[in-house]
């Protein structure tokens, strides 16, 4: 069975979780038991758990993510979401230090918060992330809600940060969808920039089959442009995308089997030190 790491998962078990509507569209129960059972079924050895957005423009408190990961018996590892205030940055760093063995990365919700990646409020976070070799994930591309800010979530906004912080491992979530070519350039240009392929498919809307073909073509072309798949990481964005659909997308990529293996687990194992 193929070894797999899912580097982008959400969960909360709260009724005000804003991702419940995606779970309903996908026919998912959106529970820890379901998630772990599905991971077992598809041979997903590890997952990185991120705070989902809650109704009211906030996200699930990070201590709840730590608790869920503890309940997973080591199958899930926490990613700490950092909001753009000095208080939240300080709290995130304190939690990361207290859970140093477990925490694998940080996440910044570009497009959902009123801040850019280069906002000075994040300087302390970036300093810590560099010193501890912890990647920082950035939401890029389309937002789950119509109130999102695409100017701040455009992947090219990370170019300046990557120029200034060559020691910071930057991961562009959702491959900057729909700006795949821009992300291809970023991962080609910057040794420290990666992209995940999470959350690209939701439900069976019109032209669903053609859309998946288009996605596979765009990601394959990005791999050709970058000269390989060393910078691309598998993720589902559960419950936004079902595991079966995310894995089907990888199978459709027009790449060598060795590159498929890099995408499914080798890159994540290396980058997140799993």
Residue 145's pLDDT is what? 83
Q: What is the DSSP letter of 264?
A: I
pLDDT digits (tens, 9 = 90+) for 58-98: 999 999 999 999 999 999 999 999 999 999 999 999 999 99
Residue 106's pLDDT is what? 98
Burial class (CB in 10 A: 0-12, 13-18, 19+), 225: middle
Residue 144's pLDDT is what? 83
Residue with tokens 């038991």: 33
Question: Does residue 56 have a pLDDT over 70?
Answer: yes
pLDDT digits (tens, 9 = 90+) for 255-271: 999 999 999 999 999 99
- Residue 255: both structure tokens together: 């790449």
Q: Where exactly are the structural domains of the chain?
A: 4-271
- Residue 13: both structure tokens together: 């078990």
pLDDT digits (tens, 9 = 90+) for 147-160: 889 999 999 999 99
Residue 186's pLDDT is what? 98
pLDDT digits (tens, 9 = 90+) for 178-236: 999 999 999 999 999 999 999 999 877 789 999 999 999 999 999 999 999 999 999 99
Superfamily of domain 4-271: Metal-dependent hydrolases (3.20.20.140)
Q: Where does the pLDDT of residue 15 fall: very low under 50, low under 70, confident under 90, or very high at 90 and above? A: very high
CB distance 215 to 253 below 8 Å: no
pTM: predicted TM-score of the whole model, two decimal places: 0.96
| Cα distance between the two ends of the chain | 19
Question: Does residue 124 have a pLDDT over 70?
Answer: yes
């Amino acid at each position: 069975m193929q070894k797999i790491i899912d580097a982008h998962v959400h969960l909360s078990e709260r009724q005000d979780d804003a991702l419940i509507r995606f779970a309903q569209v996908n026919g998912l129960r959106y529970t820890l038991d379901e998630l772990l059972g599905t991971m077992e079924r598809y041979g997903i050895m590890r997952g990185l758990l991120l705070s989902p957005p809650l109704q009211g423009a906030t996200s699930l408190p990070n201590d709840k993510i730590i608790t869920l990961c503890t309940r997973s018996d080591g199958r899930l590892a926490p990613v700490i979401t950092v909001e753009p205030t000095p208080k939240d940055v300080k709290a995130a760093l304190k939690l990361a230090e207290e859970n140093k063995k477990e925490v694998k990365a940080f996440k910044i919700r570009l497009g959902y918060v009123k801040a850019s990646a280069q906002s000075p409020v994040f300087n302390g976070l970036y300093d810590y992330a560099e010193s501890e070799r912890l990647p920082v994930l950035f939401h890029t591309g389309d937002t789950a809600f119509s109130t999102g800010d695409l100017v701040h979530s455009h992947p090219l906004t990370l170019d300046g940060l990557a120029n200034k912080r060559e020691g910071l491992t930057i991961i562009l979530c959702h491959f900057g969808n729909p700006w795949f070519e821009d992300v291809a350039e970023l991962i080609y240009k910057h040794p420290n920039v990666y992209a995940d392929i999470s959350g690209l498919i939701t439900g069976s809307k019109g032209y669903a089959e053609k859309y998946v073909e288009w996605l596979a073509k765009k990601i394959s072309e990005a791999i050709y442009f970058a000269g390989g798949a060393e910078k691309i990481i598998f993720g589902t964005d559960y419950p936004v995308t079902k595991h079966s659909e995310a894995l089907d997308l990888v199978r459709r990529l027009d790449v060598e089997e060795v590159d498929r293996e890099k995408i499914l687990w080798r890159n994540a194992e290396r980058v997140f030190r799993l």
